[in-house]
Structure 1
Amino acid sequence: MEKTSINLLCVIILYAIAVSLSGCYAAQSKKLLFVFGDSLFDPGNNQYLNNSGKVASTSWPYGMDMNNKSTGRFSDGLIVPDYIAQFANLSVDPPYLQPGADLTNGANFASAGGGVLDVNNGVLNLKQQLAYFKNVANLISKKVGEQEATKILSSSVYLFSFGGNDYFRFDSNYPNATQSERVAYMRLVVANLTNGFKEIYNMGGRKFAIQSVGPLGCLPVIKAVHPDTNGSCVKNFLTHANLNNKALSNQLSKMAKELSGFKYSIMDYFFNLLYRINYPTKYGFKEGKIACCGSGLYNGLNCGGGSYKLCSNPSEYLFFDGGHTSQKANRQIAELIWSGVPNVTGPYNVKQLFELS
């Protein structure tokens, strides 16, 4: 009788442990990834826009390293958010606009051409992406209940890549703008972006990951349309990107002090991409300044359109087309976002954000 009681007690204890572990696993599984941004993070949303014509990234050679499946990603293969999802053991987020997609396990709202400022350009800018995110939050709430939805939103990570298109537009339209005009515009962009973070925070979001603006003036497409620079990076575009990144970093630090529970990660995309442009072989590339696919100077234009050149091995190139990195480069960037050291990605990296309760 005594032996039976001990065995029964052991069974009860083991069951309690199993239930506890199951609860922990369930809590972990509710940490989702939500993605916002521009063409660097767009998984194919633009192909579903009613006002959109044929999107270049839905045709070969885009997707050539995904069994020649062109999904709308501006790459020969996967993009940064795809890898982040893999590293976090999550399913890859579907495009928000994809018909029939299950959006309650994470969603990607990024749109090629999208910017922070709400301009009428026919794509999904920050304001529209946030509106769509609210729709998803409501779907989650209906599925699991308001209380559980709040827990999911607070434990999930919000990944952003924004600002490049805003500065492309300004510096292309106003090449002779004064420094004070550039600073004023930058402050407008940063203020609108951080207000977007606050909207998500007010809905329960607490963990924010940002890929900073890259060295825009060094992209093949920018150098191709500014041949007078003789191959040098275009200064105005570099200046604005640098101003943005410093101001955004300061604002995020301020928000972390003022908003309870606000945690963030910002990856220094500017210098880490610049290092690869200038020293490609150090990072496993043969070419850092000329795109794999395109026409004109540096293969910077018209990948997939008209007469263009295509390299035989995109993994040897930092850039797949004039404005977007190759799959191999995307994985490297994703690894920096995921587990980069503090002087690259900080004050947290995304792995640490996911691990936070």
Structure 2
Amino acid sequence: MALSNSQSDDKTNYRVQTKKQIAMFVFGDSVFDPGNNNYINTSTSGIGKADFPPYGETFFPKPTGRHCDGRILPDFAAAYAGLPYWRPYLDPNNHNFIVGANFASAGACALVEDDEDGIPLEVQIDYFKKVSNLLKEQLGEAEAEELLKGAIYYSSIGGVDYTTFIYEDSNVTESQIQDFVNIVVGNITNGVKEIYKVGGRKFAFQNVAPIGCVPGSKQSYNTTGCVESLQTLATMHNSALNFAAEDLASELPGFKYLIFDFFNTLMDRTENPSKYGFKEGDVACCGSGEYRGSATCGSLTSPYELCSNPNEYVYFDLAHATEACNIQLIELLWNGTTNVTWPLNLRQLIELESETEISSNIDRLIDEPVAVSVSNTYE
């Protein structure tokens, strides 16, 4: 069922029909962060945070830490699966980890050394391991293992690695670029294997966005077109991710996956906004400068412009899609054919059955929050 900006919060309207409780664990950067960066120290520039107006205004209607005017893709993925919208994992209140957790952090990188503002992928996976241990304590080993086996592991990571890489050295050689892509994808692969060891079997990968064509890149590099070096890196990463997923599927028994083509689906809307009901694909709704591509949206110290209707824009700020755009993209991820999500879509991946069914005891526990304290810092 299609979602709209006025959609009821009742998830039963479009919940996938399965025989077991679905859990989802989310890893990534600002595209997926529901507000984890509200609970960590980021740089003095504040780029890693979105806990101030006008972020969140379309739906919540207050800032939550999401880099969007409303809901982000993991919110819609959860809604389609019958799960609540995400609270940040680092939120100190009790959590219902039986339905999963969102560890994503704005500024996060696949490589620890690239991170300045966000929580690196490696640390996010450490958080997941802590959650898996809590589930085993709550459910028992067997039921927790089956829950983890049937869960979806949804990730979007790598874009910040590449923007940082080019920013620090714009004169890199082709061989250096390829080596760096291999390292980034290698780190992602290692992270997948760590999750697999804990019990994960169903992985939903979102490839890297057209990072050279977002408003922030065009403005930073003072170009009317896309920044080709960034586009090349994204394309190389996405190709390497395809091969890595195929290798994992052949290497790891029971490993199932999808790759959502975030690059081309967002790129098409950037280049052809009117085709999808938007008026603007180059300029962001919120920010300053020629493309509103600065990191000033909502700034208390720098002037910024804000559009009157975010639904008319592909991008809300310098690099992040509007809720209206996310609504279209989740439809493709959920029900799309192999030209946009392969070899499965998210609905098909969720409906793949585990070898055994989860005990009905989980139904009893879904609404019982897990009492757990989580650290607001990481090593």
- Establish whether TM, by shorter chain, passes 0.5: yes
Deviation for aligned residue 1:103:
4.2
Q: 1: CA distance between counterparts of 2:43 and 2:142?
A: 38
The counterpart of 1:34, out of the listed 18, 22, 25, is 25
Q: Out of 152, 159, 165, which is 2:154 matched to?
A: 159
- Counterpart amino acid of residue 160 in structure 1: S
Stretches (4+) displaced over 6 A: none
Report what 2:182 is aligned to. Answer: 187
Which deviates more, 117-126 or 34-43?
117-126
Choose which of 290, 298, 319 in structure 1 pairs with 2:291.
298
Q: 1:109 matched to which residue of 2?
A: 103
Contact between 1:39 and 1:114, CA under 8 Å: does it hold in 2?
yes
Tell me if structure 2 keeps the 8 A contact 1:44–1:111. yes
Q: Which residue of 2 aligns with 1:3?
A: none
- Aligned equivalent of 2:215: 220
Select which of 40, 45, 50 maps to 1:49: 40
Matched to 1:28, the amino acid is: K
Is 1:346 aligned to residue 342 of structure 2?
Answer: yes
Amino acid at match of 2:303: S
Secondary structure in 1 matching 2:26: strand
2:25 counterpart letter in structure 1: F
- Cα distance, 1:64 vs. partner? 1.0
Instruction: Map 1:77-116; keep pairs closer than 5 Å.
Output: 77-104=70-97, 105-116=99-110
Please report how far the alpha carbon of residue 88 of structure 1 lies from its aligned counterpart in structure 2 after TM superposition. Answer: 0.8
Secondary structure of 1:265 counterpart? strand
Which range is displaced more, 100-109 or 33-42? 100-109
Kindly tell me: are residues 256 and 246 of structure 1, through their superposed partners in 2, closer, same or farther at Cα, counting changes over 3 Å?
A: same
Partner of 2:364: none
Q: TM-score, normalised by structure 1?
A: 0.90
- Aligned match of 1:309 in 302, 305, 309? 305
Query: Structure 1's 114 and 103: CA in aligned 2 closer, same or farther, altered over 3 A?
Result: farther
Pairwise CA distance, 1:135 = 0.6
SS in 2 for 1:319: coil
Identify the range of structure 1 (331-340 vs 80-89) with the bigger mean alpha-carbon deviation.
Answer: 331-340
Query: Shift of residue 297 of structure 1?
Result: 1.8
Instruction: Give the 5 Å matches for 1:274-293.
Output: 274-293=267-286
Deviation, 1:122, is 4.3
Query: 1:93·1:106 contact (CA, 8 Å) conserved in 2?
Result: no
Paired amino acid for 2:112: D
Residues 298/50 of structure 1: CA separation in 2 closer, same or farther (3 Å cut): closer
Counterparts of 2:31 and 2:42 in 1: how far apart (Å)? 21
Q: Secondary structure of the equivalent of 2:20? A: helix
Query: Which residue does 2:194 correspond to in 1?
Result: 199
Q: Do the aligned partners of 1:318 and 1:325 also contact (CA within 8 Å) in 2? A: yes
Q: Write the distance in 2 (CA, Å) between the matches of 1:164 and 1:132.
A: 21
Q: Tell me what 1:176 maps to.
A: 171
Tell me the distance in 2 between the aligned counterparts of 1:102 and 1:249: 34
Distance 2:49 2:249 in 1: 40
Distance in 1 separating the partners of 2:118 and 2:255: 29
Write the distance in 2 (CA, Å) between the matches of 1:140 and 1:80.
25
Shift of 1:68: 3.0
Q: Cα deviation per residue 1:49-72 (whole Å; 9 max; x = unaligned)?
A: 146666641111101112531000
Q: Note the alpha carbon deviations across 1:187-231, whole angstroms, 9 max, x for none.
A: 00000001111111111100000110011110100111111x3x1
> Which residue is 2:254 aligned to?
261
* Aligned equivalents of 1:193, 1:277: Cα separation in 2: 27
Which secondary structure state, in structure 1, belongs to the residue aligned with residue 303 of structure 2? Answer: coil
Q: Give the match for residue 270 of structure 1.
A: 263
State the distance in 2 between where 1:56 and 1:200 align: 27
2:43–2:116 Cα contact (<8 Å) kept? no
How big is the alpha-carbon RMSD for the aligned residues of Structure 1 and Structure 2? 1.4
* 1:323 equivalenced with 2:325 (yes/no): no
Q: Distance in 2 between matches of 1:137 and 1:320?
A: 35
**Contact 1:37–1:110 under 8 Å retained in 2:** yes
- Normalized against structure 2, the TM-score is what? 0.85
- The residue that corresponds to 1:15 in the other structure is none
Structure 2: distance between partners of 1:200 and 1:188: 19
| Secondary structure, aligned partner of 1:142 | helix
Is residue 293–residue 318 contact of structure 2 (8 Å, CA) maintained in 1?
Answer: yes
Label 1:26 to 1:248 Cα distance change in 2 as closer, same or farther (>3 A).
Answer: closer
Cα deviation for residue 284 of structure 1 reads 1.1
Whether the aligned pair in 1 keeps the contact of 2:18 and 2:351 (CA below 8 Å) is no
- SS of 1:245's equivalent in the other structure is helix
The answer on whether the counterparts of 1:96 and 1:109 sit within 8 Å (CA) in structure 2 is yes
Contact 1:342-1:348 at 8 Å conserved across structures? yes
Matched with 1:12 is: none
Per the alignment, in what secondary structure is the counterpart of residue 205 of structure 2?
strand
Distance 1:206 1:57 in 2: 32
For 1:267-316, what per-residue CA distance to the aligned partner results, in whole angstroms no more than 9, with x for missing partners?
Answer: 11111111001100111101001000000120101111111110000000
Higher helix share: 1
Task: Tell me the CA shift for residue 341 of structure 1.
Answer: 0.5
